[in-house]
Amino acid sequence: MNSHPKISKAVIAAAVLVALFAVNFIIHLGFSPAFNPLTTDSGVFAYCGARMLAGDVLYRDCWDNKPPAVYLIDAGIVALGGQNPWAIWWFQLLWTTASSAVVFAVIRRVWRNWLAAALGALLFIGTALTHFYYTGGNLTENYLLLPLGLTAGALYASLTSGRLRWTAGMGLLTALAVLLKPTYFGMGAAAILTVVVFHFAQRKWTPGLKHLGVFMLGLILPLALVALVFWRLGALSDLWFAVLQHNVGYVEAGLSRATLLASLRQFFVIQPLAGLFWTALASLGIYGLVRALSKPAHSLSAPENLPAWWLGGLVLALPLQMASISISGKNFGHYYLEIMPALALLASAGPAVLLAPDGLKFPRSAHLHNGLRIGLALALAALLAVWSKGLNAKELVNLPRLTSTAQNFDLWNYPFNDLERYIQEHSRPDESVLIWATHPDFNFVTGRRSPTRYIFPLHVLTPTPTGESGFPELLSELAADPPRLIIQQVVSSANLPAFTAPENELCGGCSPAARSGMEELKAYIDAHYTYATQIYDWLVFVRK
């Protein structure tokens, strides 16, 4: 007799998972590698992940300024699917499906309402997967979505059960977030503060301190393990410089009043994020109104009060995450993914209490009860309409690309462009190729290593662990491993100095050390390489 409800729930859960996969799949068709080559950061992560599998040590042999988690993830993708952008695409699809499923499951667990969970998942998917924010995937923010959703779920489980394992899990998930980017601690910090205050408010001092202790243990152990691994590899100083010292300079260079104001505009004005933000605030208002008109339980730990504590933790996370986004140094769309799980979860509160009023009963007349429900529901629907209109502005679904991908429907074989084919045809797999541009994806998809650890050449212009610029190191690497081809963009999309420029225009605005290094690089290329051809807006030079 009791088996039927369980089977029914399992069937519903499976149907929800299939539906979430289908929605994510359709949207991801618009991110096909045939139309969306790997972005600069994505290419760096993928290339360094591939080099790690080849035996290179991160930071020492492949240098970038993010913590190691994203490179390890990409190394796993390459191990499973090879150096194929479609392997990354499939992993992104599965990851976002899992992330949206977690958002759905957490809302369902908190409010016991399928419709509220579906709405929250829809808000999450619709906002996070717009082109402006998602940016093709394979970025630290994309991988952050799942641990943030899991942290919110672990927070509720810790509040309801009091078990230390859930709080330890919050610490581990926060460590994973920090290993994606050092500023991604907002959700974890808010979660543990909520748990500690929850226990202290009931004068349960010892349990509160125990939860704080296991959280810190879960946070510190993974970070210490990573530090130990890099120390054993002899690359701890490289990790320290890249992840901490270099990132501080990066933030200082990009942080300004203009970037802060631009971030605030995204939250309050620019759609669809502003629509999600205002929907979350309105839902909180609806929840608060319903609680004010109901009879709240007296005990802080009463089941009726636990969702309020959980919502309080999410609200506390918002300013921390907003600050994290604002100080990130730039105003890139993918930065705003960090706040979307919390907003989607908060936005579920209003629909949940409106759809399931028995949870918090109005001690008023039925007319007032129904009138409030209808009025609040209409207000919420108006905000959702504004949000949905904003999806077109940020392009949730690109119909031409989606249609073209569906017609060709080859979701594994990567279509090489003319330049990538030229690289493969005019160099051997054991030869290096220098891409003097911010396009490490060429090295990744062609399987040709870079002769330098600075796969992102702009890093050569800034101070490195070895000097005022990376040029002495770069020139030494070129002498030790002369690349078969050197490829330069005619006009750099990232303002990278061109070695083909006249002497007096070689490195305008560069530091003296960088300008001197640029002159040496030009002399080296002029002496050892000859112009071969131009493909699109790329100049190809071949070793003499």
Which CATH number belongs to the domain containing residue 482 in this structure? 3.40.50
Average confidence (pLDDT) over 48-57: 96
Above 50 in pLDDT, residue 172? yes
Q: What is the DSSP letter of 496?
A: P
The domain boundary, picked from 353, 372, 400, lies at 400
Highest mean pLDDT (candidates 225-229, 398-402, 501-505): 225-229
The domain boundary, picked from 366, 400, 434, lies at 400
Above 70 in pLDDT, residue 97? yes
* Mean model confidence pLDDT for the chain: 88
Residues 103, 68 share a domain: yes
Residues 355, 485 share a domain: no
Residues 395, 471 share a domain: no
Q: For residue 99, what pLDDT is reported?
A: 98
Q: For residue 4, what pLDDT is reported?
A: 47
Above 80 in pLDDT, residue 375? no
**Single-letter amino acid code for the residue at 535:** I
Residues 435, 396 share a domain: no
DSSP lists the bridge partners of residue 435 as 487
Residues 205, 92 share a domain: yes
Stronger pLDDT, 484 or 326, i.e. the higher one:
484
Domain membership flag for residue 7:
no
SS3 235: coil
Contact of 196 with 212, CB cutoff 8 Å: yes
Least confident of 72-76, 222-226, 268-272, 445-449: 268-272
Residues 525, 448 share a domain: yes
Above 80 in pLDDT, residue 361? no
Average confidence (pLDDT) over 55-77: 96
Q: At 489, phi and psi to the nearest 5? A: -75, 140
Query: Which domain does 472 fall in, by range?
Result: 418-543
Residues 6+ apart with CB under 8 A from 331: 259, 262, 263, 266
| pLDDT tier, 505 (very low <50, low <70, confident <90, very high otherwise) | confident
pTM here is 0.92
Residues 377, 425 share a domain: no
Residues 6+ apart with CB under 8 A from 204: none
Number of domains in the chain: 2
Above 90 in pLDDT, residue 492? no
As given in the structure block, the two tokens for residue 348 are 């579920």
Residues 422, 375 share a domain: no
Distance CA 323, CA 319 (A): 6
CA distances from 35 to 135, 137, 398, 400, 465 (A): 12, 13, 11, 11, 37
Least confident of 36-45, 112-121, 218-227, 249-258: 249-258
SS3 464: strand
Q: For residue 394, what pLDDT is reported?
A: 61
Residues 458, 368 share a domain: no
Q: At 393, phi and psi to the nearest 5? A: -65, -35
Domain membership flag for residue 3:
no
The domain boundary, picked from 348, 373, 400, lies at 400
Q: For residue 345, what pLDDT is reported?
A: 97
Q: Which of 278, 293, 294, 396 is nearest to 347 (CA)?
A: 278
Highest mean pLDDT (candidates 147-156, 244-253, 282-291): 147-156
CA distances from 135 to 260, 263, 334 (A): 21, 17, 6
Residues 488, 425 share a domain: yes
End-to-end Cα distance, the chain: 81
| pLDDT tier, 6 (very low <50, low <70, confident <90, very high otherwise) | low
**H or E element in which residue 12 lies:** helix 3-28
SS3 226: helix
Above 50 in pLDDT, residue 454? yes
Residues 281, 152 share a domain: yes
Residues 86, 176 share a domain: yes
